[in-house]
Amino acid sequence: MEYEGADPGTVRPGGRTARVRAAVLRAAGDAMAEGGFAHLDLADIARRAEVGKTTVYRRWGSVTGLVADLLTDMAEQSLPRTETGSLLDDLKANARLVQRTLTDPRQGALFKAVIAAATCDARTAQALHRFYETRVEEWAPCVQQAVARGELPEDTDPHEVIRAVSAPLYYRFLTTDGHLDEATADRSAQAAVAAARAGVYTRRA
Amino acid sequence: MEYEGADPGTVRPGGRTARVRAAVLRAAGDAMAEGGFAHLDLADIARRAEVGKTTVYRRWGSVTGLVADLLTDMAEQSLPRTETGSLLDDLKANARLVQRTLTDPRQGALFKAVIAAATCDARTAQALHRFYETRVEEWAPCVQQAVARGELPEDTDPHEVIRAVSAPLYYRFLTTDGHLDEATADRSAQAAVAAARAGVYTRRA
DNA sequence: TCCATAACGGGACTCCTGTTCCATTTGCTG
DNA sequence: CAGCAAATGGAACAGGAGTCCCGTTATGGA
């Protein structure tokens, strides 16, 4: 009577298991970028990954489960952050990074699909939240430095400022057909700085 | 040889056809609010609406097509706007309206599903864009009045300001698990005002 | 190196989504 | 109010997504 509840892939995570996971996650990303969330089919992903259909169903169970795993994988690979010494420039760099990501054909489609998946399943939503939490955490220091330099009020919430930079870009990305250009990215950084300076993001406000 | 390309429901839009459309759209809204976009099944919607499954497939064809129709229907029913004479108060009212909508269990789930559907299909995305365009258009006047009063720079883009109010709320709604409260709504209004005053949303900026 | 078994892969099977056909109902027009 | 055809609805059908079974492969530990 062993532990039968152990998820497949957790007892022997190395070798073939790891290769299969990498291939499937890659294939899932490709499929989402090409067809979007709705047309996603686990059998097709298995074919792309040159892996048995049964394996995909056994290890991930559903499309949303697979996306959740993909998101935890994405959260682990972090991107380098700039460090210019100026809050506005740092936030502009962040905004342009987001803008480039969402504008890129493959990445943009991928993010759309991932967001769609997260709205359909609680576990996937948690994975998405964690992904953005790590991204926000990575960029928070540049706000903290601005606070230390006296550019911003003492009790400014760094996370809120970083989120304020991304928010307009994602909002445009999802709810308008206007294209996201660099000027838009710069505006969102400027807006975040203006609001932060005005003390909107202080914790006690 | 008549016009065979005419979509079903367009030649005799009255009577039964209209009743069927209303029943199906209502059922679609219910289904989306309950199960989310992924578990959406046209046969189930037909059952809820007490309508033949064939009818739903013939008139709307797919889940995304149905959502697109639902969105044009939603865009037509407009909500009343406040008129307080103060930009900040107007925008706070707008922000709280959005916050209440997204927080409401049924409406919130519905919007999640609708956004998910829009990421999967170009036609549905267009319908979603038009929906937000009309909403933004409705609220733009209060920004224009603020410009007229001299509260904001001359060439401020009113649409951008309204979008700036909603953006943080939607961003939180989709990418974090933090709950949307009135304080958050007020902050987004304050941030929009601060940025607008700083001239971030002027057209030539 | 060798063994126990975790993990994979193929194929058959089931159920459900979406399509097609045709009879019936019911708007619209004269 | 009468008739034509638009629109609906039921039933049968087809195709594909997801499950199950069991033999095969190869991992991790001794």
Query: Would you kindly state where each structural domain of chain A is located, as residue ranges?
Result: 16-74, 79-197
Predicted local confidence at residue A2, as pLDDT: 40
pLDDT over 90 (residue B8):
no
Predicted local confidence at residue A8, as pLDDT: 86
Cβ of A132 less than 7 A from strand D: no
**Cα dihedral angle (A111, A109, A82, B161), rounded to 10 degrees?**
-80
Under 8 Å between Cβ of A95 and A185? yes
Predicted local confidence at residue B153, as pLDDT: 97
Three-state DSSP string of A15-45: CHHHHHHHHHHHHHHHHHHHHCCCCCCHHHH
CATH number of this structure's domain B79-197, picked from the four choices 3.40.140.10, 1.10.357.10, 3.40.50.1460, 3.30.390.10: 1.10.357.10
Cα–Cα distance for residue pair B88/B86, rounded to 1 Å: 6
Lowest mean pLDDT among A39-48, A72-81, B109-118: A72-81
Q: Does A168 touch chain B (CB under 8 A)?
A: yes
Q: Which of A119, A131, A186 should we substitute to test contact with B (largest number of B Cβ atoms within 10 Å)?
A: A119
pTM above 0.85, yes or no: yes
pLDDT over 90 (residue B47):
yes
Cα–Cα distance for residue pair A153/B148, rounded to 1 Å: 31
For the segment B11-32, the average pLDDT, to the nearest whole number, is 90
For the segment A55-61, the average pLDDT, to the nearest whole number, is 96
Q: pLDDT, tens digit, for every residue of A88-115?
A: 999 999 999 999 999 999 999 999 999 9
CATH number of this structure's domain A16-74, picked from the four choices 3.30.420.40, 3.30.2030.30, 1.10.10.60, 3.30.160.100: 1.10.10.60
**With contacts defined as CB-CB under 8 Å, which chain A residues touch B117?**
38, 116
Cα–Cα distance for residue pair B112/B184, rounded to 1 Å: 19
Predicted local confidence at residue B5, as pLDDT: 53
> Is B194–A198 a contact, with Cβ atoms under 8 angstroms apart?
yes
- Residue B204's pLDDT band, with cuts at 50, 70 and 90, is low
For B172, counting Cβ atoms within 10 Å of its Cβ (0-12 exposed, 13-18 middle, 19+ buried), the class is: buried
**With contacts defined as CB-CB under 8 Å, which chain A residues touch B116?**
37, 115-117, 119-120
- Residue B96's pLDDT band, with cuts at 50, 70 and 90, is very high
- Residue A1's pLDDT band, with cuts at 50, 70 and 90, is very low
Q: Does B190 touch chain A (CB under 8 A)?
A: yes
Geometric angle at alpha carbon A42, from A134 and A50, rounded to 5°: 95
Q: What percent of chain B has pLDDT over 70?
A: 96
Cα–Cα distance for residue pair A116/A123, rounded to 1 Å: 13
Q: pLDDT, tens digit, for every residue of A66-88?
A: 999 999 999 998 788 888 889 99
